[in-house]
Structure 1
C-alpha cells in the first residue's frame, strides 16, 4: 500500500502518517489527516463498546461480591453449589458464542450488540430476586447465553474498521474494561452493600438489582451509540468514508462484499491454528476493597503492553513475557503462607494474565482472512478458551481453601503450556511467511495487499501469498 502526503511525511510506529498534511492513497488526494481520522474513529467507536463490556464483566463477576455479602447463606447454598452456578454461566457462554457471531454477520452490530446487552441486563437484575438454588442456576446459565455474543462480536466488528496492525491496541483498550470492572466492582459492591435492609433486601440483592438496571438503561442508549460499518456510519463524511475504504482495501478483507456462507463456517472449524482475598483472613468489606489493586495494576499493564506490541508489531514475545509474569504470581500463591506475599501473588497473576489475554484475543483477528471465517474463528477461539473457565470453576472448591492448591496448580500448568504453545505457533507462522515470500518471488507480486478489494475472486484469504501473518 502506498500512502503519501504532499509534504514529506514522517511515519509513526503503526505506519500512520504523523504529518498534518493532506493525504493521498493510490494517486487519489484527500484533505484528510489520517492520524486525526483514527482519533475520530476511536472516540466514536470505542467508548460505547468499552462501556458495554465493562457492564458485561461487572454483571458476570458481581456474583463473587454478592457471595461475600450473604448470597449463599440466604438461599441455602453450599460452597460447591455456588461453584456449579459459576460453571453453568460458562456452559451457556461457550454454547452460544458461535451462533451469536453468525447472527451478527447476518444482521448488523447496531441491532445485535445492544439487544444482547438489554437481554443480559434483564437477567442480571432478576438475579437479585432469586429465592432458591434452582433460580440461581437458571439465572447464571441464561446470563452466560446473553453475554456470549458481545466479546467475539466486538473483536470481529473492530476488524472491519481498522488495519490489521491497528486492531490489537483497540481490542486491548476494549478488553481493559474487564480489569477496570474488577476494580470498580469492588468499590461499587462495598457501597451498595450498605443498602442492606432497604426494602427488606439484603445487600447482595441490591448489588444485582442496581448493576443490572444500569445495564438495561445503558443498552437502550447503545442503539444510538453503536454504529454499523464504515459504508453506512453517519458520523463519517463521504470523503472520510472513501479514505477509510482505500486504506483498508490494501490491508485486509473488510472492504470485500462477502456474503455469509456455511462453507466459510466450516473453514473456520477446520483451521487448527475476590473470594481468595477473603480467605486470606480479611473481612467482607476489606475483601471488597482489596480486590481493587490487582485489577488496577492489570488495567495499567494491559494498556502499556498494548502500546509496546503495537509499536514493535510483535505479538508472541509479549504473550510469553506476560504469561511468565503470571506464572510467578501463581508460584507465590502456591508457596507462600503469609497473607501479604499471597496478595502480591494475586496482583502479579492478574497483571500477567490480562495483558496476555488481550493480545491472544486480537491475534486471530489479525491473521485470519475471510470475513465469515474470521467471525467464526474469533467466536471459536473464545469458546475454546472458556472451556477452561468451565473447568476452572470446579477447581476452586470450598474444601481446598484458603490455599487452593489444585486450582492454582492447574492455572500455573496452563500458563506454562501457553508459553510453549505460543513459541510453537510463532515458529509455524514464521515458516509460513517464508513460504509465502518464496511464492511471491516466483509470481513477481508484492506483499499485503495490492488492492484486495479490486482482486475479485482472485484473493484467497489468509492462504493468499500476499497475506503476511503477524508474529
Structure 2
C-alpha cells in the first residue's frame, strides 16, 4: 500500500487549517491537492459500498412484505388464521422492530458494520425461513415478532454507516438509492411469488410455504457471503490506498466522520434533548403508515378489484417500478438543489391524489382504481427516501446521529403498527378506513414537513447572525450541529 508524500500531507493540512477565518460548514467542492479524480473516487465508493448494502435491504424488505403475497397463496387458509389474527401477525412484526431499533444502532456503534450487519441478516434469514415451516398461528406469530427484532438494526445502521463515507449533500441521493430497494423488493416480490406459486405440492408444501422458505434461504446464503463484502470505514477499507484514504478524510473535514468519538451516553442524551430530532420522527411517522399499508396490502387490494391471485401478483410490479424510478429522480434533484422540504411536499401531494381517487372512484372502475395505486406508490416512496435521509444530513456527532436516525425510524414505524390494523376484512372492498387514514397521514406529513422547514430556516438565520456578530467556534473540528458554522439542510 502506498504512502502519502510529504508535500501532499502539507497540502491536506493547509486545506483544513483553522487559522483562516471561521467559515460556514458547507459542502462545496474541495480543492484537490493530491491529484485524485474526485468523481472517479466517488464512483468507486458507490460500486464498492452500494450493491451489497442495497441487496441487504432489498432482501430485508422482501422478507417482511412477502406475507402479502403468501396470503394469496393459501397462508391464512392452511394455518386457519382469521382476518383479525392476520392483522395482528402484521402488527407484531413492527412491535419487535420498534423496540429494538435504538439498541441495535447502539450495538453497531459498539461493534463494526462488517460484523453487525451480516449477523443481523443471517439471523433474520433463519427466522424468515422458519415462517415457511410454521404449523400453527402461534408459531407463525413468534417468527414474525423475531423477524422484526432481527431486521430492526439494518436500515438505521446502514444510514449511519453511509454518513461516515459521504458528505452531507451526497447523502440524500445515496440513502434514497438505498431505499429504492424497498420498491424494487415489491416488484421482485410479485414476480417471485407468481413463479413460486407453481411449486404448490412440491414436498407436500403449499406455494406460500415455498415463498418464505426459498426467499429466507436466499437471505441466509447472501448473509454468509456478506461478511466478505461489507466494509467498515475509510480508515480501514482494504480497497483504498493511502492517498485515497487521505483525500476522503480531507473532503469530510467539515463533518464528524473523521473524529475519534468513543461511545458515551451523554451523546445519546444529546439527541433525546434536541427538539429537531423529535421532529424528524413524525416526518417519517406520517409516511410509514401509507408506506407499509400499501406494501403489505397491495396484493389484496388488487384482487378485490376483480383480478385473480396470479394476476394480482404480477400487477403489483408496475406501481413499484414507477416508484423506483421516481425515487431515484427525486433523490438526484434533492442532491443538486440541497433541499428536502419541497420534494417531500411535492411527492406526498402526488400520493394524496392517489388516495383521493381510491376513496371516490366507484368500484366498478377497476382500471382507474389500479392507476391510483401507481400514484400512491409513486408519491410515497420518494418522500420516505428523503425523510429518512434528512436526520442523517442534519445531525452532527457520531453517536448523536446514530441515535437520531434510530429515533426517526422508531417513531416512524409506530405509524406502521397502527396501519397494520386498518385494512379490516369487513371494510372490503372499498377500504374506506385504511385509505382514509393513509390520506389523513399524508396531509399531516405536509404539516410536519412545513414545520421542519420553518424551524430549520430559523436555526440557520440565528447561526448566520452569530457569525456576522463575530462569534467564532473554539475548535477547528466540528463536533456538533450546535457549532455556529453548521448549516442545516432545509
Equivalences for 1:32-111 in 2 at 5 Å? 32-111=36-115
Deviation readout 1:107-151 (Å, 9 max, x if unpaired):
000000000000000000011000000011101000000000000
User: How many pairs are equivalent?
Assistant: 445
TM-score, scaled to structure 1? 0.92
CA distance in 1, matches of 2:259, 2:76: 52
Cα deviation for residue 443 of structure 1 reads: 2.3
The DSSP-based 3-state class of the residue aligned with 2:238 is coil
Q: Which of 450, 455, 461 pairs up with 2:480?
A: 461
Deviations 1:378-410 (A, max 9, x none): 011001110000000001111111111111111
Could you report, residue by residue, the CA deviation over 1:424-459 in whole angstroms, capped at 9, with x for unpaired residues? 11111111101000111122659xxx9x7x43xxx4
Alignment of 1:228-377 (within 5 A): 228-250=232-254, 252-273=255-276, 274-337=299-362, 338-377=365-404
Q: In 2, distance between residues paired with 1:444 and 1:65?
A: 58
Which residue pairs with 1:140 in the alignment? Answer: 144
Q: Which residue of 2 aligns with 1:9?
A: none
Whether the aligned pair in 2 keeps the contact of 1:16 and 1:35 (CA below 8 Å) is: no
1:89 positional shift: 0.3
Q: What is aligned with 2:22?
A: none
Q: Residues 464 and 16 from structure 1, CA distance in 2 versus in 1: closer, same or farther, beyond 3 angstroms? A: closer
Residue 260 of structure 1 contacts residue 372 of structure 1 at CA under 8 Å; is this kept in 2?
A: yes
Matched, 1:208 2:233: no
* 1:161 partner SS: coil
**Structure 1: segments with no counterpart, 5+ residues:** 5-13, 18-22
Alignment correspondent of 1:415:
442
* 2:185 counterpart residue number: 181
For 2:328 and 2:408, locate their aligned partners in 1 and report how far apart those are by CA, in whole Å.
22
- Post-superposition Cα deviations, 1:180-206, rounded to whole Å, max 9, x if no partner, equal 010011001100110000000000000
Shift of the alpha carbon at 1:15?
A: 4.3
Tell me the distance in 2 between the aligned counterparts of 1:400 and 1:268.
Answer: 41
CA RMSD of aligned residues (A): 1.7
Instruction: Report the Cα distance in structure 1 between the residues aligned to 2:420 and 2:102, rounded to whole angstroms.
Output: 22
Match of 2:461 in 1: 434
Range that drifts further, 348-357 or 276-285: 276-285
Higher RCO (C-alpha under 8 Å, 6+ residues apart): 2
Deviation, 1:460, is 5.3
Cα distance in 1 between the residues matched to 2:15 and 2:457: 27
Equivalent residues of 2:256, 2:479 under 8 A apart: no
1:90 Cα deviation (Å)? 0.4
| Residue in 1 that maps onto 2:132 | 128
Q: Take 1:220 and 1:272, find their aligned partners in 2: how far apart are those partners? A: 40
**How far apart, in 2, do the equivalents of 1:30 and 1:120 lie?**
43
SS in 1 for 2:275: coil
Superposed displacement of residue 272, structure 1:
2.4
Matches within 5 A, 1:2-13: none
Partner of 1:191 in structure 2?
195
Matched residue of 2:488: which SS? coil
What is the alpha-carbon distance in structure 1 between the residues aligned to residue 300 and residue 319 of structure 2? Answer: 13
Shift of 1:279: 1.3
Which secondary structure state, in structure 2, belongs to the residue aligned with residue 269 of structure 1? helix
Q: Where does structure 2 lack aligned partners over 5 or more consecutive residues? A: 1-11, 17-26, 277-298
> For 1:59-112, what per-residue CA distance to the aligned partner results, in whole angstroms no more than 9, with x for missing partners?
001100000000000000111111100000000000000000000000000000
Structure 1, residues 17-67: CA drift from partner, whole Å, max 9, x if none?
Answer: 7xxxxx63xxxx202111111001000001100000000001001100000
Which secondary structure state, in structure 2, belongs to the residue aligned with residue 95 of structure 1? Answer: helix
Q: Deviations over 1:333-363 (max 9, x none)?
A: 1111221111111110110000000000000
Hey, what does 1:20 align to over in structure 2? none
For 1:460 and 1:189, the matched residues in 2 are separated by 48
Counterpart CA distance in 2 for 1:319 and 1:304 is 13
